[in-house]
């Protein structure tokens, strides 16, 4: 398998190298987060990536499977663990990431995943799990 641009992106995240991560994208990319937030265009994608990196003290992505089913399509199954700037740890989170690439770089990344939380999270019922845009269905 040739060098995976998706693996290069994850390596840049693990190194906390925001500029290396951003440099992998095409001039007009899109990025969809695990919460369904979609950024379109270089400015929005860079803003999402910079915001993510600003909250990280450390990151580790353990890739369990990787596919390149056709030219320009990369799929990674992984576990992600994050250490935030307040030294708290998040994860491990199971993730599936799909990237579409071209000669000009990564054109699209979509992140799919689930947060497996304890049934009662700080005294809240599981049905009250919320993400940045509201309630998260847990199935």
Give the domain ranges of the chain.
5-135
How crowded is residue 133: how many other Cβ atoms within 10 Å of its Cβ?
9
Q: Which run of H or E residues covers position 21?
A: helix 18-23
Per-residue pLDDT band at 119 (split at 50, 70, 90): very low
- How far apart, in Å, do the first and last CA atoms of the chain sit? 34
Question: Exposed/middle/buried for 104, CB within 10 Å: 0-12, 13-18, 19+?
Answer: exposed
Widest distance between CA atoms in the chain: 50
CATH number for the domain running over 5-135: 3.10.450.50
pLDDT, tens only, 4-34? 999 999 999 999 999 999 999 999 999 998 8
pLDDT over 60 at 133, yes or no:
no
Identify the residue with better confidence: 49 or 92: 49
pLDDT of residue 100: 98
């Amino acid at each position: 398998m040739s060098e995976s641009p998706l693996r290069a992106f994850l390596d840049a995240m693990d190194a906390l190298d925001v500029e290396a991560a951003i440099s992998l994208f095409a001039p007009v990319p899109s990025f969809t987060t695990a919460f369904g937030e979609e950024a379109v265009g270089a400015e929005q994608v860079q803003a999402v990536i910079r915001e993510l990196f600003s909250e990280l003290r450390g990151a580790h992505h353990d890739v369990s499977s990787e596919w390149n089913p056709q030219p320009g399509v990369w799929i990674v199954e992984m576990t992600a663990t994050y250490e935030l700037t307040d030294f708290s740890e998040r994860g491990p989170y199971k993730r599936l990431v799909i990237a579409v690439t071209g000669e000009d770089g990564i054109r699209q990344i979509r992140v799919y995943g689930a947060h497996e939380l304890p049934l009662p999270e700080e005294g809240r019922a599981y049905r009250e799990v919320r993400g940045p845009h509201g309630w998260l269905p847990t199935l």
